[in-house]
Structure 1
Amino acid sequence: MQNQFIKYLKAKTQSNALFVNEVASVLDIGYDAAYRRINLKTSLSLEETVKLAKHYKISLNKLFEVGSKNTIITDLSPPIHNIKGLEMWLKQSYNSVYPLTKLKRASIIYSAKDIPLFHTLKDSFLSRYKMYVWLKDVDPEITRNKVSFDDFIQDIPESLLENAFKLGEVYKDINISEIWNNTTINGTLQQVLYYFEAGYLSKKLALLICTDIEDVINHIEKQAIQQSLIGSKNKATYNLYINDIHTMSNTIMIKTPQQKVFFTPFTVISYFKIEHQPTCELMFEFFEKQMGMSKLLVNAGEKDRSLFFNRMHQKVNRLRERIILDNDPFDFE
């Protein structure tokens, strides 16, 4: 059991020498004493085990599989109730993602029910609109005061934007594979139409958001063709798969040489974090099957690739026409 515990802790530290020093510091013991515990020559006391678990922020229940084998323990992301909560969520997300940029073999697989978050976190009206939509769902004050998007962007805190753009930038340095289908873009378009029709989004800003969505589509197409993330310091790879069979889920799988972990949606942008390795392996196998049944867009013929992206541009154009004419409703299919 101690061996399993030590292996788990080591996976969270990149250097063995640093790991020994860190254990010594946490337990307030000498280097040699820490080395003996790490190499199983001395048993860890219960108190020492708890100290290390708290320091490395791990659950002993989760680690040692306490409970039914069909029961897993998950972590829930911090709740978001207002702008301050969203800003904290963005900071915590950055702190979780940044270490992955230091691991050469770290990668992300994203099942894209909607346009993945990191494509939209840029200095654009779309980025600001996404934050407005999230907060409309969780902050009763915005709904109660009937705050429009036009009002929202007048008072949006600079610190919120800085943290959003910072998170968007860090994703450029991680290998990413995304699985899309023909409806991935629909949710974003529907959000624009909904708040435009409800009177919370002006025609001028709605049209600017449409332009931003087109820019995102063009950017994704370039990355899909060259199989790399534009602006990456690490020359990170980018693979876009198109799946015509399954419905996507916005589940994110993170894979490193040490472990796998995945995040699955809970409410709005909150999520469950699952580190239970047998469950992570099942999810990884499912993603591999999905990708195996999908078209890797760079390998698809020029005709198939053009059809896919042209279809998305057509949907944006239909939304733009609907906003300009402001007449009969329609759908995006």
Structure 2
Amino acid sequence: MNMQQVKFFQAITAALPGYQNLAQSVAEVLAISNNEAYKKIRGLSTLSIPQVIKLSDAFNVPFSYQPNQLPSVNFNYLYVNRETPNMVDYMKGLLQNMKEIHQRNDKHIIITTDDVPIFHFFKYPELTCFKLFFWADNPTLKFHSDTLNEEIIAIAKDLHQLYLEIPSTEIWAEDTVHGTLGQIRYAFEAGHITDQDLAEKIVEQLRYCLADINMYAMSAKKTIDPLNGFNWYNCDVLGSLAYLVEFKDAMVCYNRFNTFNYLKTDDQFYCSQTKDWMQGLIRKSVAFSGQGEKQRNKYLYTAFADCDQLLKEMANNK
């Protein structure tokens, strides 16, 4: 059995929509019978180099040869050019990834983060555009109502709805909310936001966002559909920022770096190790969803108080 070939087909499986049959899709791309496709998927019949290229091009999945003595993991680099950031393209890339996840069966996302997952922000136009503005990191620009991008806002709404319809587990750090609050405070004090009403609106939207998350946690689901479950945890020390997407028969891992860029891999051994690490974090965490009302209320009380403090500081500058 050719294990490298089997891993290649596992990666293709992870990239396929849930409704698409692997053997039939492979047979169509290679112009072979379904029976021969099954043999290749199981590693019983060897792929030729031209066949590997056809499959890689058709499913946008790279083939990697890894000698046993040199174990390695291949990542796709999902990035935004910091010199000339294009946030519309960034949002379109996120949307494409989320659509691919959403259309699969038995999906689930586990997140470890030191900042509020941006999918929660996408419900709120000003908060969304401010976050992307801050990430773009152009000190010569000002953030004001006229800079709100309608295309970004429309994409954000689609992303928010998709995220609500994907069951998820979120593991937050102790100071997760502070990251966004600190960004708003800095932008206001540094003069990147000169409209005080707009600055206050962004803080209020952060409060609304936290209230939304509280509602998800209370019912342990993000919509009325119980399949769209929501588990929320707080962990003192995370050590890494990652998104792990689980499907019925495969996993995909996204590691965040440089603020908003991601390294993506569907290497199943790496993903399994990441899942084990995340499950270890959960065992060390405080549960906020479901019955974790006392701990959740204490956490949110502090977060709301920090929001109120920032609003007070802004008011004192009038």
Normalised TM-score (structure 2): 0.87
* CA apart distance, 1:5: 3.7
* CA apart distance, 1:248: 5.6
Q: 2:142 aligns with which of 140, 148, 154?
A: 148
In structure 1, the residue matched to 2:213 is 220
In structure 2, the residue matched to 1:330 is none
In the alignment, is residue 211 of structure 1 matched against residue 204 of structure 2? yes
- Residues 71-123 of structure 1 show CA distances to partners (whole Å, capped at 9, x for unaligned) of 32211103345888322222222222223323442111111200101000123
* CA apart distance, 1:14: 5.6
* Structure 2 unaligned spans of 5+: none
- Bigger Cα displacement from structure 2, 206-215 vs 77-86: 77-86
Q: 2:59 aligns with which of 53, 56, 59?
A: 56
- Residues 44-85 of structure 1 show CA distances to partners (whole Å, capped at 9, x for unaligned) of 322112211222222221xx4247545322111033458883
In structure 1, the residue matched to 2:91 is 90
Identical amino acids, percent of aligned pairs: 21
Q: Distance in 1 between matches of 2:14 and 2:66?
A: 18
The alignment covers a number of residue pairs equal to 314
Q: Distance in 2 between matches of 1:250 and 1:40?
A: 35
* CA apart distance, 1:234: 7.1
- Residues 215-246 of structure 1 show CA distances to partners (whole Å, capped at 9, x for unaligned) of 0111111111100003x667400011122x31
In the alignment, is residue 132 of structure 1 matched against residue 126 of structure 2? no
Contact 2:105-2:248 within 8 A present in 1 as well? no
Contact 2:88-2:152 within 8 A present in 1 as well? yes
* Structure 1 unaligned spans of 5+: 328-333
* CA apart distance, 1:213: 0.8
Q: In structure 2, do the counterparts of structure 1 residues 126 and 92 end up closer, same or farther at CA, with 3 Å as the change threshold?
A: same
The RMSD of aligned alpha carbons is: 2.8
* CA apart distance, 1:181: 3.0
Q: Distance in 1 between matches of 2:293 and 2:14?
A: 43
In structure 2, the residue matched to 1:263 is 254
Q: 1:25 aligns with which of 10, 28, 31?
A: 28
Q: Distance in 2 between matches of 1:4 and 1:17?
A: 19
Contact 1:181-1:248 within 8 A present in 2 as well? no
In structure 1, the residue matched to 2:120 is 119
Contact 1:80-1:89 within 8 A present in 2 as well? no
Mapping of residues 108-257 of structure 1, within 5 Å: 108-135=109-136, 137=137, 142-143=138-139, 146-150=140-144, 153-201=145-193, 202-230=195-223, 235-243=227-235, 245-247=236-238, 249-257=240-248
> Equivalent residue of 1:236, what SS?
coil
Contact 1:242-1:295 within 8 A present in 2 as well? yes
